[in-house]
């Protein structure tokens, strides 16, 4: 992480009202002026405070940087802070009185996952030491361009499960060779899930206003739910993937990770723009006319909705069932009609999904590395680097997925084409689409996660024995949003709403109404271990 000198840090700590005290939370200091406290503030609240002249982007940015300095040693969520963040914030403050106001993200600090290109002083490495000295990307990822155009302040990059958790079958979520191990802020010896581990933890711990993660299958939904956040995995093709280190074009997408549904909607309004560099975002007939997602933030959004309850995800853990059953009761009280459903074909694409990912990973990664330049341009190059640097890159797990993916052929292979068709058929036509059409549903609901597992450097992600509900929407390329639903003791449990392609507005409406009815999120306590 780029360091701050002691004088500047003390200045920021005084401004922010942060005291470096021996406690599990950050205590307020007593500066001469009233202490600034931005914990749990929404984008709308922060933007309104700046509009009224009660807050500056510079003060806000310094507050978050001071908070990172004070508490990220506990959770290790940030892989790097932006050395230009304060300068950018000052520029945003200068823009405001000149009527160069850029919208609700103007001056708002945001963190992004370290697999998203930035053409600045920060690195883009996917957590791998192999890319630590690679050339700086020639241009920002398209979504980073959108954030800058919207006036956001890029505060830093977050740690992740190395290579977005696609290096080895025995990987440890939240660990990367470059960044080390990210920890869950609710209980520090627990796993943060991944692969967007750092973004989930940083936003949960109020180290930034908002964040961006990426998902292939569960990499937004799982760390968001396990860290008590809202996580929105959009339809593949809604948000550009240009300049994002890939796994699989058929499933990859970026998406917001926030503390509230309203913040996710604000971010999606900025990011939902067609990109000529990503054909999925311009495919004929796929995109719908853009309507502001903020307009879907309706407190009574559950009224008269028909929601399918995916019962196959019940009966696995009584603590999870209890939380989600209570959530269903809240939905009924808010006016939703609940219909029990099942997906008879949901197990038929499991092997096919992994086959598709391996083929698309090898192809997509080589294309990215060739465009990026540098010493390592193929998957075989990376495999050799990891082997040559095993003590640093493979102290806990190997690279079996890298090795199996490197053996796959071109995307014209019959094995790939058959697997891709299996995935489409059983996740879409005979999966989500069929069940929603037959039952006339607006959305489907399921538990997002079980209580997170211990960090285990020997066995890897042995998990809690609970399989989350992300795969159906992920394989289909359809949208999914998770919202805090409650707790199993001190660990967050999320609830997922997913549905048809490009139904983000409907899902936001339902999720926001549920959030307003339940208010289930609470701040982490940074407990060292379970009581």
- The residues annotated as belonging to the active site are 113, 195, 219
Q: CA separation (Å) from 342 to 50, 435, 438? A: 48, 8, 12
First to last CA, the chain: 32
Asked if 397 and 170 touch (Cβ cutoff 8 Å), the reply is yes
Distance in angstroms (rounded) separating the CA atoms of residues 349 and 471: 10
Q: Which residues of 29-64 are buried (b: 16+ CB within 10 A; e: fewer)?
A: eeeeeeebebeebbbebbbebbeeeebbbbbbbbbb
236 CB-near residues (< 8 Å, 6+ apart): 250, 251, 252, 253, 280, 477
- Distance, in Å, from the CA atom of 254 to the CA atom of 235, rounded to the nearest integer, reads 10
Distance between CA atoms of residues 55 and 361, nearest Å: 44
Report the alpha-carbon distance of residue 448 to residue 308 in Å, rounded: 15
H or E element in which residue 62 lies: helix 57-75
* Alpha-carbon span 202 to 182, nearest angstrom: 10
DSSP 3-45: ---HHHHHHHHHHHTEE--SSSSPEE---SSPPP--TT--HHH
Cα 272 from Cα 434, distance rounded (Å): 27
Q: What dihedral angle (degrees, nearest 10) is formed by the CA atoms of 262, 265, 266, 270?
A: 170
Distances (CA, A) of 39 to 58, 194, 366, 385, 525: 16, 24, 41, 42, 13
Looking at 126-254, list the stretches that DSSP marks H as alpha helix, in order from N- to C-terminal side: 142-149, 162-165, 197-204, 221-226
Residue 195: cis peptide before it, omega within 30 degrees of 0 = yes
Please state the three-class secondary structure of 471-526 as a single string. HHHHHHCCCEEEEEEEEECCEEEEEEEECCCCCHHHHHHHHHHHHHHHCCCCCCCC
Q: Among 164, 168, 163, 130, which Cα is nearest to 401's?
A: 168
């Amino acid at each position: 992480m780029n360091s701050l000198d002691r004088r500047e840090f003390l200045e920021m700590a005084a401004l922010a009202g942060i005291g470096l005290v021996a406690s599990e939370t950050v205590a307020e200091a007593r500066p001469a002026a009233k202490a600034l406290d931005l914990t749990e503030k929404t984008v709308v609240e922060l933007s309104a405070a700046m509009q009224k002249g009660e807050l500056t982007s510079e003060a806000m940015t310094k507050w978050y940087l001071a908070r990172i300095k004070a508490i990220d040693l506990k959770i290790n969520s940030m892989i790097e802070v932006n050395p230009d963040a304060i300068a950018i914030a000052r520029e945003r403050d200068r823009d405001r009185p000149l009527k160069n106001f850029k919208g609700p993200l103007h001056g708002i600090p945001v963190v992004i996952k370290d697999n998203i290109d930035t053409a600045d002083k920060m690195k883009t490495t996917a957590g791998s030491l192999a890319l630590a000295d690679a050339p700086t990307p020639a241009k920002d990822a398209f979504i980073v361009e959108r954030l800058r155009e919207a006036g956001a302040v890029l505060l830093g990059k977050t740690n992740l499960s190395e290579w977005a958790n696609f290096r080895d079958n025995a990987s440890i979520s939240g660990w990367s060779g470059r960044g080390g191990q990210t920890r869950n802020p609710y209980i520090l010896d627990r796993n943060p899930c991944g692969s967007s581990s750092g973004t989930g933890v940083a936003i949960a711990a109020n180290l930034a206003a908002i964040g961006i993660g990426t998902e292939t299958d569960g990499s937004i939904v799982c760390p968001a739910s396990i860290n008590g956040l809202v996580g929105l995995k959009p339809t593949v093709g809604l948000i550009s993937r240009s300049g994002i280190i890939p796994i699989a074009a058929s499933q990859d997408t970026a998406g917001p990770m926030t503390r509230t549904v309203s913040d996710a909607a604000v971010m999606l309004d900025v990011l939902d723009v067609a990109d000529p560099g990503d054909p999925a975002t311009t495919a004929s007939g796929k995109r719908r006319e853009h309507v502001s997602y903020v307009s879907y933030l309706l407190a009574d959004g559950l009224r008269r909705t028909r929601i399918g309850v995916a019962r196959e995800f019940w009966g696995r853990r009584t603590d999870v069932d209890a939380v989600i059953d209570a959530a269903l009761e809240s939905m009924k009280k808010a006016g939703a009609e609940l219909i029990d459903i099942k997906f008879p074909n949901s197990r038929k694409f499991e092997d096919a999904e992994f086959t598709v990912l391996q083929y698309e990973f090898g192809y997509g990664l080589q294309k990215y590395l060739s465009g990026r330049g540098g010493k390592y341009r193929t998957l075989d190059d990376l495999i050799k680097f990891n082997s040559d640097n095993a003590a640093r890159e493979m102290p806990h797990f190997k690279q079996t997925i890298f090795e199996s993916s490197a053996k796959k052929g071109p995307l014209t292979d019959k094995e790939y084409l058959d697997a891709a068709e299996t995935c489409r058929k059983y996740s879409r036509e005979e999966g989500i689409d069929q069940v929603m059409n037959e039952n006339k549903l607006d959305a489907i609901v399921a538990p997002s996660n079980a209580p997170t597992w211990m960090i285990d450097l020997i066995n890897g992600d042995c998990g809690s024995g609970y399989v989350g509900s992300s795969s159906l929407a992920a394989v289909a390329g359809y949208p999914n949003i998770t919202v805090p639903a409650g707790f199993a003791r001190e660990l967050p449990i999320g609830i997922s709403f997913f549905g048809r392609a490009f139904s983000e507005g409907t899902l936001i409406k339902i999720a926001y109404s549920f959030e307003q009815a339940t208010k289930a999120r609470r701040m982490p306590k940074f407990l060292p271990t379970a009581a």
